[in-house]
Structure 1
Amino acid sequence: MALVIVETGKGSKVLEIAREAGVQSGTIFLGKGTASRNIIDRLGLSDRRKELVIMIAETEIATKAMDNISRIFKFEKPNHGIGYMEDVSNVWGTTSCTVGYRDLDEGDEDVFNAIYTIVNRGLADEVIDAAQGAGSMGGTVIHARGSGIAERQKVFSITIEPEKEIVMILSPREKTDGIVNAIREKMKIDEPGKGIIYVTNVAKTYGILRE
């Protein structure tokens, strides 16, 4: 699975480039970057509105698409956007790709995790504060939207009510446990109804600079 975060209005261009590389479909979500001001020059995540583009394709096609997107959008430059790829074990609802899972080797360099925290609307800033206190460089907030109380969205196979927020944080693997524990403690995640956290392995990143 390939994910790209760019300024609002550029998601369609991302999908256009991806389709040229063989990706058959993708989804654009609206979000907001939350990087602290002192690292905006290093990350493509500011306080401005963002679009999150999610695409699923075979590894070879997804890699080609991400390489092209990174080159055209100049992800190597600050504030031009970021992208990353996650391992997907199974895919349902599409016949356009077959995806195999691989474990990340302990010796892999620059390995990141993606931390997803789902909380009630209005609490995303508290999640970000807790994460930054544990060493996070920032994240992206996705607002689940619906026109009626019965309408729901599904993100990563999890049903999200319209009043929820999803906080996405990219974390170097060595910082992940500390960030997750900080969020769990501040948000009381282990109590019923307080939220959900899940963590995935990131196979490759674009536009992320290590300190």
Structure 2
Amino acid sequence: MSSLFFMVTITDRRSTDAFLQLYESHGVDVSLRTVGSGTAVQETLSTLGLERTEKAVLMAVVTEETWQAARRDLRRKLRIDVPGTGIAFTVPLSSIGGKRALMFLTEHQTLNWKEESTLKDTRYELLLVIANQGYTGTIMDAARAAGAGGGTVLHAKGTGMEGAAKFLGVELVNEKELVLIVARTPEKNRIMKAIMDGADKKAGAIVFSLPVTDTAGLRLLEDEEPVAETSAQ
């Protein structure tokens, strides 16, 4: 599934609508938005052209074709290369939990279906679960039962959720919770399936994964990994 990406945009909150309208013009109807603030040192903020103010963080799933077209318009129409406008970047997705969720997230984008693939030699995966607010408990219960250690919850507002019933059979409200779970790559599919099957149906959970290419601070998970047996020659 290397043609799909998780797109993240960080900009001034006052520019949120302009970015959303541009993305919608490219078929990106389903997205999440939350707020953040700059915490980098002033030298870094100046290099990126960002101020130490409250930021809008926009997140969406896009195809490679959508990203290429949107990037051109980000530069041409929103002048994203001008310091202070914002930044946008993509991370390759390794999988999405269920074809209905895939179709919902990419409904108005051109998607060339490919067999699922993952980046090689990644020891961990970042699972992202988008769900209606108030159902984190059932999601984490299901994830822990499948071997997940824990997760981090972010609050966000969803856009373009009106068509969810057609694809997922549930009504998705605007207030969302984004659950981030780091898991070992061999356990990824089991945890994703447990969330899809075990979470409360009213949660309307959508889950997908991102490859983690490097880590720090995961000593606990590493210590729990079984030691490979070796035979004497």
TM-score (norm 2): 0.45
Q: TM-score, normalised by structure 1?
A: 0.49
> Is the radius of gyration larger for structure 1 or structure 2?
2
